[in-house]
Chain A
C-alpha cells in the first residue's frame, strides 16, 4: 500500500496498515539495522564521540540563538557573490518564487537533487501545475518519483522498497525487463538521468549547510547528481530551511564529522560541494544564475520557545529514525508528513501554530529515548514529544475519556488513603475476569493490552497492606551491619553535602 492510496486518517490507523505490510517491515528493518551499526562503528573509529556531539550542539545552539544575525550575514555575502537571495515566510510564498523563476526562464524541465525542503513544499506538484517537469536525480528519490510516492526516510527515501519492487519500477520506465542486480539497475538510471542533466533548463538542489561568513552553500551527497545539477544547467535554484546556517567553514569541520557518520556511518560522503555564487569569468562550468530561497514555513515558531528552540539544531541526518523502535515497525509513511520518525513526530506538530491541526503523531512513541541518544546534536526529542502532548492537553484538545481517566488517576494517587481503598475495590472488580492469576478478556481500556499480552491481577495483598507484618519479621532478621556499610552511607551523605555546597557556590559565583 502506498501512502498516496491510503484513506487512513490518523497515525494509529496508518501504522496498523503498515504493520500488515511485511515487505515494508522487512526492508526497513534490514536497512536501519545496517545504518545503525555503521553509525556506531564510525563513532567508535572517530573517537571522543561525546565531545564531538557536544561541540556540534554548541555550534548549532549558538547559531540558532543568533539566527537573525547569521542569516543577514549569509544573505549579504551570498548577494555579494552574485546570488539572488529570496526569503519565503510560507510554503506558498516559496512555491510562488520558484514558479516565477521557472516561468521567467521559460523552463520545461527541472533536474532536482535530493531536497527535503522541496518535499515539504510539495514543489514537484507545483511545478507540474505550471507545465514544468521536475525530475528527481537522486536514485532513491527517482524511484519514489516513479512510484508516485513520497520519501519514507529523510536520507533513504525508498527505504521501504525491496529490490524486486525497485526492479519492477525501473523496468516499467525502461520498457523492458531489467535484471535485478544493482549494477544493471543503477546503470539504467545512470543512462536515463545523464540525459536529464544535459537537457534540464534548471538545476535544483537542497542545502545541508549554509556558511554565513562567505555566503556559501554546502551539499553532501553520494551519487554526484547534486554536482551535476549545480554545474550543467544554466540556472540553479537552491532551497534551504532558514535554520541551515552555520557561522564559519571551521564550524563545517565539526558538522562534516557528525553528519555523514550519523547518517550512514561514512567518514565523508562521496561528494561534498561548496558553492559560492554563480559561474564567474574564467570558470569552466556552473550556472549563469543562482537563486537561493530561504524558507521559514513554521520554523520561526520555535525561536524563543525554550522547550522547542533546539529543534532547529537538527541537521537532518536521520540517525533518530534508524534507531527508533517505532519507525522500525511502521516505516515513514505512517507518520503522515514529509519528515518521519522521532524528528518528524516533533516537527510535524511544532511547525503548525494551530493545535487543531495536530494529529496523534506525538503519541506514536514509547519515549524510550533512543533518538536523543543517537542525535549528533543532542536534541531531546523524547522530551519534546511530552511537551507537545502537554500543550495539547492544556489547550483542551485531549480526548474526553482520557482526560476523565487522568482526573480519576489524580484523585486516587493524590492521597495514599484513597489509593489503598482503590486497590481493594480493584481486587474485587478484577475477580470475575481473572483465570489462573491473569486477565485475558479484551474489554474496556484493557483491550489494547490484552490483544498482545495477558494482564496480571492485583496481588492478594499489596505491599502497603503487608508492610506492618513484614516490618516485624525484618526486625527479627536484621543482620549486623555488613563491614563498611555504615561508613559508605556516611560517605555518600558527605559527598552529597559537598556537592550541594559546590552547587550553591557555582550558582553564586
Chain B
C-alpha cells in the first residue's frame, strides 16, 4: 500500500514543518509515507489567473509523480480541490484526463484522510491552550471538509476551542488576488484578524497554509503576533509533547 505525501509548493518551500508533522503523525499509526520528488505545484496560481497552459505545465508533474500511489495525502484543501479542476484543464487531452481522474479519487486532505479513511479522530494529543480555527474557503466550501477538522480538535485533551466569528468569510488571500487587488485583500484580512483577536485565542489553527500565512502575516504586521499553526502541526506537537 503506497501512501504518498503531496506537500504543496508552499509548504515545501516555506513550511516544511507542516509536512514533517503530517508524515510523523502517519508513522505513529504505522503508515509509511513516500515522497515522490517529481511533484512541484498543483498549478492553481496560474489556473486561477487564467493562464491554463502554464497551469498544465505544473499540473503534469503531479500526474506523473503520483501515478503509482494508492493514496495521496496533502496539507491543503485548496490544492486538493485544484486537482478536481484538472477535468477542465485537461479536457482536450484524454491521456492526461484519465490520469487526473485517478489522481482525484485517491487524493485526500489531511483531516479527511485521518477521520474518514483511517477512521481515527483521537490522535491522543494534549494541547492545553485556547485555540480558534479558520475554515479555509476552498477546503470547507468547495471540497466539503468541514466536520473532520472539528472531529480532530474536539478530541485533543485540554484544548479549549473558541468559535471564530464570521468564520466562513474569506481571509482575503486568494493567491494572486492578494497582490493584484492588494487593498481589497488588505481590508479583508484586517477584518478576519479582528475576529481572530476577538476570540482571545492563544493559537490560530487551520488547514491551509496560504490563508494562515496571510492572517498570521497580517497579525505580525499589526504587532499582534499570535501563534499560527497548521492543524497537523498542532496535533503533532500535542502527541510528541514538543
Contacts and interface: CB of A to CB of B under 8 A. Distances in A.
Contacts of B61: 413-416
B59 to A, nearest CB: 9
The SS class assigned to the A binding surface is helix
Contacts of B175: 367
A457 B13 CA distance: 9
A19 B38 contact: no
Interface stretch (B47-55, B125-133, B151-159, B196-204): B47-55
Interface stretch (A141-149, A287-295, A322-330): A322-330
28 contacts: A12-B180, A12-B183, A329-B184, A329-B187, A360-B180, A364-B184, A366-B137, A366-B178, A366-B185, A386-B47, A386-B50, A391-B50, A410-B55, A411-B57, A423-B12, A446-B179, A454-B220, A458-B13, A459-B14, A459-B17, A461-B16, A463-B12, A467-B37, A470-B20, A475-B32, A479-B28, A485-B30, A493-B70
A409 B45 contact: yes
A471 B220 contact: no
B238 interface: no
Interface in A452-497: 452-459, 461-464, 466-467, 470-471, 474-475, 477-482, 484-486, 488-490, 492-493, 496
Interface in A326-373: 326, 328-330, 360, 363-370, 373
Interface in B41-71: 41, 43, 45-55, 57-58, 60-61, 65, 70-71
Given A459-B14, A489-B71, 13 more contacts: A409-B54, A414-B61, A415-B40, A416-B40, A449-B178, A449-B179, A456-B213, A463-B7, A466-B16, A474-B32, A481-B31, A488-B119, A493-B70
B173 interface: yes
Contacts of B16: 459, 461-463, 466
Interface of B: 1, 3, 7, 9, 11-17, 19-20, 23-24, 27-33, 35, 37-41, 43, 45-55, 57-58, 60-61, 65, 70-71, 105-106, 117-120, 137-138, 141-142, 168-170, 172-175, 177-191, 213-214, 217-218, 220-221
Nearest to B3: A489
B88 to A, nearest CB: 8
Interface of A: 12, 15-16, 19, 325-326, 328-330, 360, 363-370, 373, 386, 388-394, 398, 402-403, 406-407, 409-416, 419, 423, 426, 438, 440, 445-459, 461-464, 466-467, 470-471, 474-475, 477-482, 484-486, 488-490, 492-493, 496, 499-500
A392 to B, nearest CB: 6
A398 to B, nearest CB: 7
A479 B23 CA distance: 12
Nearest to A392: B50
Contacts of A416: 37-40, 61, 65
B1 A464 contact: no
Q: Which 6 A-B pairs have the closest CB atoms?
A: A366-B174, A448-B182, A389-B50, A481-B30, A453-B217, A452-B186
Contact of B13 (A423, A450, A455): A423
B112 to A, nearest CB: 11
A438 B40 contact: no
A349 to B, nearest CB: 12
B32 to A, nearest CB: 6
Contact of A453 (B47, B49, B214): B214
Contact of B138 (A16, A369, A445, A466): A369
Contacts of B220: 438, 453-454
A449 B182 CA distance: 6
The residue among A388, A409, A463, A475 with the most chain B CB atoms within 10 A of its own CB is A463
A19 B184 contact: yes
B60 A414 contact: yes
Contacts of B217: 438, 449, 453-456
A402 B49 CA distance: 9
A328 B11 CA distance: 31
A76 to B, nearest CB: 40
A365 B183 CA distance: 12
The residue among A16, A329, A499, A500 with the most chain B CB atoms within 10 A of its own CB is A329
A91 B67 CA distance: 53
Nearest to A456: B14
Contact of B188 (A329, A363, A488): A329
A421 B48 CA distance: 25
Nearest to B78: A367
Contacts of B182: 447-449, 451-452
Contacts of B19: 463
Contacts of B3: 489
Contacts of A500: 105
B15 A467 contact: no
A19 B177 CA distance: 16
Contacts of A426: 13
Nearest to B51: A406
A389 B48 contact: yes
B185 A452 contact: yes
Nearest to A12: B181
A45 B142 CA distance: 24
Contacts of B60: 414
